[in-house]
Structure 1
Amino acid sequence: MLAGDKNMLEVNNLFNQIERGSYLKTFQPDNKNIEALADTWNNYLKTLHEAIAESNTAKQVAQRDYEKVQALAIAWEKQMQVALTNSSEKEVHQALAHKQIYTARARQLKTLVERHIIHISTLKTQLAYWENQPYSQVS
């Protein structure tokens, strides 16, 4: 769990209460409460922005790694084709083993990239939702 995730979960719980109305039913507005709510609100939105940025960075790193590993898998495929034309069974087996390793790793990285894309989309949806709430103008 990322450092900001814990704070975001705590703040998310508060805003889930607000969304259900349970917090607002007992909320007695005064300057102190409004300031506290505004601070909490701003921290929550800031945390969402940070989580999006962190996940986007992680996605970019995974994408870069995927491209490198995929290129290695392709290179080993070519090496295997060369070994096949040269009738070098040992080199074919070696190239095939490397190709399989890099292909499997590329698949894992591609899955990771796709998960980051979904995560970023979810966070952006949450951010858009919360930024468009009437109480988002508290501050």
Structure 2
Amino acid sequence: MSRLLKKGIWPIALVICLGIVVWLSRSGEASPVPLVSTLEKNGYRIEVRTLEARSSPMEEKQFLVTVTDVGGANVEATSIQIKSWMPKMFCGIFTAKVERSSQGSGYEGTLVPVMSGRWVAETRVRIGSDEFVLLHDYKVV
């Protein structure tokens, strides 16, 4: 009887351990993503905002990028690039089309994510000779 019990415990312990590993690896994906990411450096404040909390695959995803000085006055960027990819996946790097915002302040970037899941948008802002890089997480469902 005790031999049977010892043999039966190992599969159960293995299943429990695997369950814990899967749960821990997935818990980071379940956490909410921020709608706004901010970088303050060298007297500038760069903000990347997701305009929708969630979007669907193969639909346009929009971002608003604002660049201001410490006093809050708008600063014109020399160039802005937004590139996006899925961490831990191999589905490519997508580049957003970035234009001046129709609202008058900031810049709007639009791209089309191809799959559901957690994505990262890398925003590179050049102001004169300075370049700033800001990573912004977003989710596609």
Q: Report the TM-score when normalising by structure 2.
A: 0.29
Name the structure with the higher strand share.
2
Q: Report the TM-score when normalising by structure 1.
A: 0.30
Bigger CA radius of gyration: 1
Name the structure with the higher helix share.
1
Structure number with the bigger relative contact order (C-alpha 8 A, sep ≥ 6) is 1
